[in-house]
Amino acid sequence: MLQVEKVSKSYRSTSVLTEVTFQMEQGESLGLIGESGSGKSTMAKLIVGLEHLDGGQITLNGLDFQQLRGAELRKARRHVQVVFQDPWASLNPKLPVWKSIIEPLENYPDVVPSFLKGVRNDKRKMAEILLEKVGLDRDFLERYPHQLSGGQRQRVGIARGIGLQPNLLICDEPTSSLDVSIQAQILNLLKELKKEFNMSYLFISHDMASVQYMCDRIAVFKQGVLVDLFLSKDLFSDTRHPYTKMLVQATVER
């Protein structure tokens, strides 16, 4: 589904990504892990097409976003949605929750996700169904972002992300701004939704334990280089890259 081929990117003279190559299948979740500045988020931006590549190629369902323009790019983009780290920043404070949720659906009036068949013209109903998918009841429809807790806000962000039934959902540190007690709720929710919709996840995080819980495979970035790529179950294998071992060592309980 997603092909990343020898992708390089630099800002001015600083190289952020160097010849990164990986593939993803439909329904697979891949974790991107690394420290700040290792290029994880840049990778996400390139996949969504928010930044231009300096070298290499990224194709989603066979389409190269860098080559597409205008209507075609718009059409292709709906297959990738993003859940951001900070749910505060991703919701419009002036819109009630239901309007925020269906905004992507309004941008693509032709798209009819399977779970919204029959109600595609009823905006509130669609918002209600999506809210239910993320475990919030209809009382939340009319609320504004400031009336929600961090966890609830992130749920709304997720509802917005899955509305168009994307092939790929990019989760950029979805739980790092949340309290410990809420992290588990959100991770469980994401895992259930993935199963239900057979979505692929690109799960960006600096927490090895969350990545291991969420992902089938893990890609380790260090200073813009993909140093290690492996199945989650091989995390403790001796053949791991020394840097991966260091990250594991730092996270594992003594």
Partner 1 sequence: MTISVDFTQPLTNDYVKEETFFQSLPLLEIKNLSISSLGENKKEDIKLVKNINFTIKSGEMLGIVGESGSGKSLTACALVGLLPKSLKVTEGQIKLHGRELLNLSEKEMRRLRGNEIAYIFQNYQGSFTPFIKIGNQLIEALRSHRKISKLDAKKKVLIWLERVKLPANQVFTSYPYQLSGGQLQRAALAAALMFQPFLIVADEPTTALDVLTSENILDLLVELQKEYNCAVLLISHNLNHVLKRTDSIAVMYGGQIVERGLTNEIRKNPIHPYTKLLLQARPVLSRVVPEKLVVIPGEPGLVAEQGCAFALRCPKSFKKCSILPKMQSVGDSQWVACHAADLEADYTNASS
Rule CB under 8 A: which residues touch partner 1? 35-36, 149-152, 179-185, 187-188, 191, 206-210, 212-213, 232, 235-236, 246-248, 250-254
Cα–Cα distance between 229 and 219 in angstroms, integer?
A: 4
Q: Tell me how far apart the terminal alpha carbons of the chain are, to the nearest angstrom.
A: 39
Q: Which is nearer to partner 1, 96 or 150 (CB)?
A: 150
**Structural element, H or E, at residue 205:** strand 200-205
Q: Which is nearer to partner 1, 227 or 248 (CB)?
A: 248
Shortest Å distance, C-beta 194 to partner 1: 13
For the CA atoms of 199, 7, 177, 81, what is the dihedral angle to 10 degrees?
A: -30
Cα–Cα distance between 69 and 66 in angstroms, integer?
A: 8
Shortest Å distance, C-beta 5 to partner 1: 29
Q: Which is nearer to partner 1, 57 or 183 (CB)?
A: 183
Shortest Å distance, C-beta 28 to partner 1: 16
Shortest Å distance, C-beta 44 to partner 1: 18
Q: Which is nearer to partner 1, 125 or 241 (CB)?
A: 241
Shortest Å distance, C-beta 215 to partner 1: 10
Cα–Cα distance between 69 and 60 in angstroms, integer?
A: 15
Q: Which is nearer to partner 1, 11 or 236 (CB)?
A: 236
Q: What are phi and psi of 45, to 5 degrees?
A: -60, -40
Cα–Cα distance between 201 and 191 in angstroms, integer?
A: 9
